[in-house]
């Protein structure tokens, strides 16, 4: 955790001696495991918000809700109690329980696991005749709902590679050879013993975005994806 602090302090110490602030651009340092030490340092906009209560409320809200803070967050910021560890934990729990937190999951899945690229290519219809837009939508929903479940249930990171559940509808269940699933609603199902579809690595969406549409190159691309993340 020393590197972010050193970067921040270096920027802070150098600014007063620099007549041209524009060359520094925009510096944001956020490290998620120390909420009380979140920094916002915006250069060239006359805004220096270093660990302020209002800055914490704003960054927390845009992180989890992708929108401005609500009245409760602003009230706590004005009172100076938002940075209290117990209060901050309660607010994070409250925000994650709010439907707006789905925006965080959607953006996280889209960027961290490249889910936004799901429809960038179309598989060869001769190799994957079952692939269509409805299946693609179910594949995307599975990954988003799976990640949302990890957050909501405070589940361990091991579930990312070895889980006994997933989210499917009839269309995706047929693709996975899971029997007994009817309807178009994607919902949580417990995987039968011996099924390998638990966790992110074997989800159809991950297989899709790490393939080129004709031949799968997962040995390189898939390992590289998770190495980077």
Q: How many residues are listed for the chain in this entry?
A: 229
Q: Are 57 and 69 in contact (CB under 8 A)?
A: yes
Start-to-end C-alpha separation, the chain: 18
Q: Are 57 and 73 in contact (CB under 8 A)?
A: yes
Tens of pLDDT, residue by residue over 128-168, are 888 899 999 999 999 999 999 998 888 988 998 889 999 99
Tens of pLDDT, residue by residue over 59-70, are 999 999 999 999
Task: Give the whole-angstrom CA distance, residue 64 versus residue 229.
Answer: 19
Q: Which residues of the chain have pLDDT under 50?
A: 1-48, 50, 219-220
> Could you tell me which residues come within 8 angstroms of residue 101 by beta carbon, excluding any fewer than 6 positions away?
64, 65, 95, 151
Q: Are 115 and 209 in contact (CB under 8 A)?
A: yes
Q: Which two tokens stand for residue 103?
A: 């925006």
- The residues spanned by each domain of the chain are 2-98, 106-228
């Amino acid at each position: 955790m020393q590197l972010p602090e050193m970067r921040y302090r270096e920027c802070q110490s150098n600014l007063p001696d620099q007549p041209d602030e524009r060359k520094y651009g925009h510096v944001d340092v956020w490290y998620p495991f120390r909420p009380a030490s979140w920094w916002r340092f915006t250069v060239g906009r006359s805004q220096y918000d270093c660990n302020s209560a209002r800055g914490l409320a704003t960054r927390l809200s845009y992180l989890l809700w992708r929108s401005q803070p609500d009245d409760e967050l602003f009230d706590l910021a004005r009172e100076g109690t938002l940075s209290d560890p117990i209060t901050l934990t309660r607010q994070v729990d409250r925000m994650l329980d709010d439907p707006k937190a789905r925006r965080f999951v959607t953006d996280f899945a889209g960027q961290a696991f490249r889910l936004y690229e799901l429809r960038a290519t179309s598989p060869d219809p001769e190799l994957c005749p079952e692939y269509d837009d409805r299946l693609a939508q179910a594949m995307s929903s599975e990954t988003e709902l799976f990640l949302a479940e990890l957050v909501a249930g405070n589940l361990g990171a091991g579930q990312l590679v070895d889980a006994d559940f997933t989210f499917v509808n009839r269309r995706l269940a047929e693709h996975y050879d899971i029997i007994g699933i009817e309807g178009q609603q994607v919902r949580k199902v417990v995987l039968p013993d011996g099924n390998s579809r638990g966790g992110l690595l074997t989800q159809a969406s991950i297989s899709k975005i790490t393939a080129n549409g004709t031949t799968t190159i997962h040995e390189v691309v898939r390992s590289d994806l998770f190495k980077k993340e």
